[in-house]
Amino acid sequence: MSRSNDTWILAAQCPSRLGTVDVVTRFLKERGCYITEQQSFDDRLGERFFIRTEFRPLASDFDAEAFQADFATRAFEFEMDFELTPPERRTPVVIMVSKADHCLHDLLYRHRTGQLPLDIRAVISNHPDLESLVTGHGLPYHHFPVTPETKAAQEARVLEVIEATGAELVILARYMQVLSSEMCTRLSGRAINIHHSLLPGFKGAKPYHQAYEKGVKLVGATAHYINDDLDEGPIITQGVEPVSHADYPEDLVAKGRDIECLTLAKAVSLHLERRVFLHSKRTVVFKR
């Protein structure tokens, strides 16, 4: 389901209590807002309620500031945290890459064609290889080399760019560096990473070649928010692709790249559309 160009998004969460759906729907009715899509979930184990509503104001003089102020008063009773997102909002982002360019190419294409409502403020890399690709799209490219000895200083420069550009989301499009604990903390909830998912798991160099030797039948990818556990942050979405004995290592690599692109783009889209709620070490993700 694609979002209409004139719909607003109200995303909220609160402790599980009687009347949580009503407080949203009744308020929207009172304000003359027509609901076009709504999803909710009550976590009975965590005793937490989540709701996402797309709506269209029927009045032409809709006042977003007054709407938020009035709803905040109503939501206070339910200890409800909420966020209101206007139509056609383009989220400011910074993309981080290393040498692999497949995910970056895909994001740039979806940005150019409007498939992802991104406002790409900068691309940061620890290698110079992709500068011409990025500058060819009219985007700033920052090359910040990194070694174990310069890691802290390099990450400080990265954070300077993120803060200076006002980026609300950081996309690690195959950025092949382990982020420090401090960096993970600073970017908590606003940095999405992508990595391959193979069963059994293969670590180290050439994972697809290792997978070939074991005769795997599925390759996949996982998109998640970063945290201090390497590749184990809260999962947003995953993708898989069947393979067979007829697929050689280079075939597994090619299929892996494709599924990485698709999975990362889906995760970014879900985040931008406020369909993802962080919930402890997990996520609540409403389908599109």
Q: Work out the pLDDT band at 231, boundaries 50, 70, 90.
A: low
- What confidence tens digit (pLDDT) does each residue in 74-107 have? 999 999 999 999 998 999 999 999 999 999 999 9
Q: Work out the pLDDT band at 280, boundaries 50, 70, 90.
A: confident
Q: Work out the pLDDT band at 3, boundaries 50, 70, 90.
A: low
What's the average model confidence in pLDDT over 211-218? 91
% of the chain beyond a pLDDT of 70: 98
Q: Are residues 136 and 162 located together in one domain of the fold?
A: yes
Q: What's the pLDDT at 264?
A: 98
Q: Element (H or E) spanning 38, and its range?
A: strand 33-43
Q: What's the pLDDT at 63?
A: 96
* Residue tagged active-site, from 42, 43, 101, 231: 231
- Residue found by looking up tokens 């067979």 in the block: 244
* Strand boundaries in 136-253, DSSP class E: 141-143, 169-172, 191-198, 218-225, 235-242
Whether this model's pTM surpasses 0.85: yes
Domain end, chosen from 31, 60, 85, is at 85
Q: Rounded to the nearest 5°, which phi and psi values hold at 171?
A: -110, 115
Into how many domains does the chain fold? 2
Give the integer Cα–Cα distance in Å for 212 and 215: 5
| Token pair listed for 80 | 């409800």
User: In terms of residue numbers, what domain contains 215?
Assistant: 91-285
Length of the chain: 288
Q: What's the pLDDT at 26?
A: 97
Q: Is there a contact between 199 and 132 (Cβ–Cβ < 8 Å)?
A: no
**Is 231 a residue of the active site?**
yes
Give the integer Cα–Cα distance in Å for 46 and 41: 11
What's the average model confidence in pLDDT over 214-226? 94
Q: How far is CA 232 from CA 155, 175, 215, 228, in A?
A: 21, 16, 25, 8
Least confident of 115-129, 193-207, 236-250: 193-207
What 3-state DSSP class applies to 246?
coil
Q: Are residues 80 and 164 located together in one domain of the fold?
A: no
Q: Are residues 178 and 274 located together in one domain of the fold?
A: yes
Do the domain assignments include residue 3?
no
Q: Are residues 110 and 249 located together in one domain of the fold?
A: yes
96-129 burial, b at 16+ Cβ within 10 Å, e below that, comes to: bbbebbbbbebbbebbeeeebbbebbbbbbbeee
Q: Work out the pLDDT band at 197, boundaries 50, 70, 90.
A: confident
Q: Are residues 78 and 106 located together in one domain of the fold?
A: no
Q: Are residues 73 and 110 located together in one domain of the fold?
A: no
